[in-house]
Amino acid sequence: MTKIPNPRVCIIGAGLAGLISARYLQDEGISFTVLEGTQYVGGTWRYDPRVGTDEYGQPLQTSMYKNLRTNLPKPTMELRGFPLPEDAPSFMKRETVYKYIEDYVKHFDLEKRIKFLHKVILVSREENIWKVKHQNVATGEEFEDEYDYVFVATGHFNKPNYPDIAGEKLFTGTIIHSHDYRERDNFKDRRVLIVGAGPSGLDIAIDVAYVSKTLVHSHHSKAPLKTVFPEHYIKKPDIKEFNTTGVIFEDGSYEDIDDVIYCTGYQYYLPFLDISCGLEWDRQCVKPLHKYMVNIHQPTMLFLGAIVRACLVVALDAQARYAAVLVKGDFTLPSKENMLEEWNRKVETIRTNGRPLSDLHVIADAEDSYYAALTDESGIERVPPHMMKIHKLLLRTMFDNLYTFRDYVYTILDDENVKVSIENETENTRTV
Ligand SMILES: Cc1cc2nc3c(=O)[nH]c(=O)nc-3n(C[C@H](O)[C@H](O)[C@H](O)COP(=O)(O)OP(=O)(O)OC[C@H]3O[C@@H](n4cnc5c(N)ncnc54)[C@H](O)[C@@H]3O)c2cc1C
Ligand SMILES: *[C@@H]1O[C@H](CO)[C@@H](O)[C@H](O)[C@H]1NC(C)=O
Ligand SMILES: *[C@@H]1O[C@H](CO)[C@@H](O)[C@H](O)[C@H]1NC(C)=O
């Protein structure tokens, strides 16, 4: 691909992914516009007590709940070159993170580059240019701009994935998705069923169990969960079916249930991508992408944050730096053939292991090698290996005890070493 002179970039979304990208494009002196469908920055980190649609009739994007604290410790939540407040705790409350994002926007003076209430409705590729159609959600007015690059930063924890369970229509209790979970008080003295044991399922189970009458947790997680739950917590296998009053599980057992919270994850949802973008997407995945990011058939389109099971903020920061130097023309991508070959190998591995294609977005154990690969290809400063170490230690403490994993403090000693300590218990300090 030849270098594009004076490129114009469209960033879709002003959540963390879009904002971090904006900051690095600005650093490089590249011209860009951020189109954001709501009137706020921060995407999912902006708590909204409402569910459903907003005042413009648009689906609420946020999945935050009132008592949320981060599930990652401070060093992995810090944006490069913008330290978190000294006095912020190891695992911050959502409002602390949101304030930090707002401060980031002020510090880098990004607001003037964002068109709020402009929702992107169509992105198409015509004659070597991107046409981006967007609509002012307040007035309904439509616009179309041309860009050389498109950064898709629309998040992927905002479109709920609902399971399809027999008899659901018969059930007379309430059913919500974790996307619409806001506060536990609604579940006081209720018999609540939580479905799923991903990050949301585990966290919401703990939150609700403080007030609910019973907490039935249906999941098939193979994670080595050792938490000792309170007595009214009942572990169950997958659901077989609903009837009017409750749920029958795969093992034939039954529980009376008042409320169900599906913590069954989110889908990829990119309805604005025209077929000319050269991508395929469904609820499970977007394909084909090079390095979880570059649209292989139209490599001037990049996806920021289309990854799961990583230190997301750190990964986003690395992706945004890679994207900025790519646009600047500091490095060239591998050939399309090579990118496709690597992609096909990845798909093949997933198929032979009998894994779902959603694994195409999973980073997990490959996190450190991913950072190394981004640096190899683009020359960006490498994310130090301690990030991966923190993540591993964190998972261990989390599996050990969901009630106490947030008591640990992670201190970075150098690029390789991390100190883990429990607040006020210095004898437990260990270095790894
Ligand atoms: C409940 C929950 C807890 C989490 N906890 C943590 C945590 O502890 N630590 C962590 O690192 N990560 C956590 N995450 C992950 C979190 O998603 C990331 O931290 C980060 O917010 C991702 O940012 P994003 O910009 O990719 O997406 P989002 O924050 O979803 O932002 C996307 C933005 O794009 C806009 N948008 C969408 N479609 C359009 C369109 N068509 N046109 C214009 N604008 C559009 C949206 O309005 C939104 O502002 C959590 C996520 C959830 C849901
Ligand atoms: C639902 O099924 C369970 C288990 O079979 C049963 O005990 C319960 O009475 C059923 N509820 C109704 C309203 O039929
Ligand atoms: C740790 O000690 C400090 C000062 O003694 C105290 O303010 C703080 O609440 C303690 N933290 C915990 C988790 O006990």
Tell me the Ramachandran region of residue 112: left when phi exceeds 0, alpha when psi lies from -120 to 50, beta otherwise.
alpha
Note whether residue 2 is domain-resident: no
The preferred substitution site among 66, 134, 154, 406 for testing ligand 1, maximizing ligand atoms within 8 Å of CB, is: 154
Ligand 2: centre distance to CA 243 (Å): 7
Same domain, 204 and 184: yes
Ligand 2: centre distance to CA 325 (Å): 61
Q: Domain with 52 in it: what CATH number?
A: 3.50.50.60
> What is the per-residue pLDDT for 17?
98
Length of the chain in terms of residues written: 432
Q: Is the pLDDT of residue 197 over 60?
A: yes
Ligand 1: centre distance to CA 385 (Å): 25
The last residue of a domain, from among 262, 295, 329: 262
> What is the per-residue pLDDT for 365?
92
Domain around 422 = 386-431
Q: Is 153 in the pocket of ligand 1 (CB under 6 A)?
A: yes
Angle at 81 between CA 79 and CA 87, to 5 degrees: 70
> What is the per-residue pLDDT for 51?
97
Note whether residue 279 is domain-resident: yes
Same domain, 69 and 154: yes
pLDDT tens string 277-312: 999 999 999 999 999 999 999 999 999 999 999 999
> How many structural domains comprise the chain?
3
Same domain, 150 and 287: yes
- What mean pLDDT comes out for the span 189-193? 98
Same domain, 392 and 348: no
Phi, psi of 112, rounded to the nearest 5 degrees: -65, -15
For residue 421, the ligand closest to its alpha carbon is 3
Distance CA 384, CA 367 (A): 11
Average per-residue pLDDT in the chain?
Answer: 95
> What is the per-residue pLDDT for 422?
87
Same domain, 36 and 133: yes
Cβ-proximal residues to 366 (8 Å cutoff; 6+ apart), any chain: none
Exposed / middle / buried, residue 2 (Cβ in 10 Å: 0-12, 13-18, 19+): exposed
Determine the angle formed by the axes of helices 312-328 and 16-27, rounding to 10 degrees.
40
> What is the per-residue pLDDT for 328?
97
Displacement of CA 419 from its chain's centroid (Å): 27
> What is the per-residue pLDDT for 408?
94
Q: Is 245 in the pocket of ligand 2 (CB under 6 A)?
A: yes
| Residue 430 pLDDT grade (very low, low, confident, very high; cuts 50, 70, 90) | low
Of 193-202, 367-376, 409-418, the least confident: 409-418
Phi, psi of 342, rounded to the nearest 5 degrees: -60, -40
| Residue 179 pLDDT grade (very low, low, confident, very high; cuts 50, 70, 90) | very high
Measured CA distances, 68 to 64, 176, 208, 320 (Å)? 7, 18, 12, 26
Element (H, E) at 302: strand 301-303
- What mean pLDDT comes out for the span 242-261? 98
DSSP-based three-state secondary structure for 118: strand
**Count of H-run helices and E-run strands, the chain:** 7, 23
CB 134 within 8 A of CB 35: yes
pLDDT tens string 46-102: 999 999 999 999 999 999 999 999 999 999 999 999 999 999 999 999 999 999 999
Phi, psi of 44, rounded to the nearest 5 degrees: -65, -20
- What mean pLDDT comes out for the span 335-339? 98
Same domain, 101 and 49: yes
Note whether residue 85 is domain-resident: yes
Note whether residue 3 is domain-resident: no
Same domain, 24 and 150: yes
Enter the pTM of the model: 0.95
| Residue 427 pLDDT grade (very low, low, confident, very high; cuts 50, 70, 90) | very low
CB 263 within 8 A of CB 178: yes
- What mean pLDDT comes out for the span 414-424? 85
Note whether residue 112 is domain-resident: yes
Structure tokens given for 95: 């409002």
Distance CA 351, CA 264 (A): 23
CB 197 within 8 A of CB 225: yes
Same domain, 310 and 338: yes
Distance CA 284, CA 266 (A): 9
- What mean pLDDT comes out for the span 114-137? 98
Ligand 1: centre distance to CA 17 (Å): 8
Name the DSSP letter for residue 79.
B
pLDDT tens string 209-224: 999 999 999 999 999 8
The last residue of a domain, from among 208, 238, 262: 262
| Residue 424 pLDDT grade (very low, low, confident, very high; cuts 50, 70, 90) | low
CB 101 within 8 A of CB 45: yes
Q: Quick one: what percent of the chain has pLDDT higher than 90?
A: 93
Q: Is 16 in the pocket of ligand 1 (CB under 6 A)?
A: yes
Structure tokens given for 349: 């591995």
Note whether residue 1 is domain-resident: no
Ligand 3: centre distance to CA 410 (Å): 16
Same domain, 35 and 129: yes
Same domain, 153 and 210: no
Same domain, 255 and 320: no
- Long-range CB pairs of 325-329 (<8 Å, 24+ gap) are 325/28, 325/378, 325/379, 325/380, 326/294, 326/302, 326/378, 327/4, 327/7, 327/9, 327/25, 327/28, 327/30, 327/149, 328/28, 328/30, 329/3, 329/4
Q: Is 155 in the pocket of ligand 1 (CB under 6 A)?
A: yes
Q: Is 15 in the pocket of ligand 1 (CB under 6 A)?
A: yes
Q: Which residue in 414, 408, 382, 415 sits closest to 393, CA to CA?
A: 408
For residue 254, the ligand closest to its alpha carbon is 2
Q: Is 72 in the pocket of ligand 1 (CB under 6 A)?
A: yes
Ligand 3: centre distance to CA 424 (Å): 6
Q: Which atom of ligand 3 is nearest to the CA of 423?
A: 13
Exposed / middle / buried, residue 261 (Cβ in 10 Å: 0-12, 13-18, 19+): buried
Note whether residue 151 is domain-resident: yes
The per-residue DSSP string of 258-285 comes to SEEEE---B----TTB-GGG--EE-SS-
The preferred substitution site among 168, 170, 171, 243 for testing ligand 2, maximizing ligand atoms within 8 Å of CB, is: 243
Note whether residue 225 is domain-resident: yes
Q: Is 189 in the pocket of ligand 3 (CB under 6 A)?
A: no
Same domain, 148 and 198: no
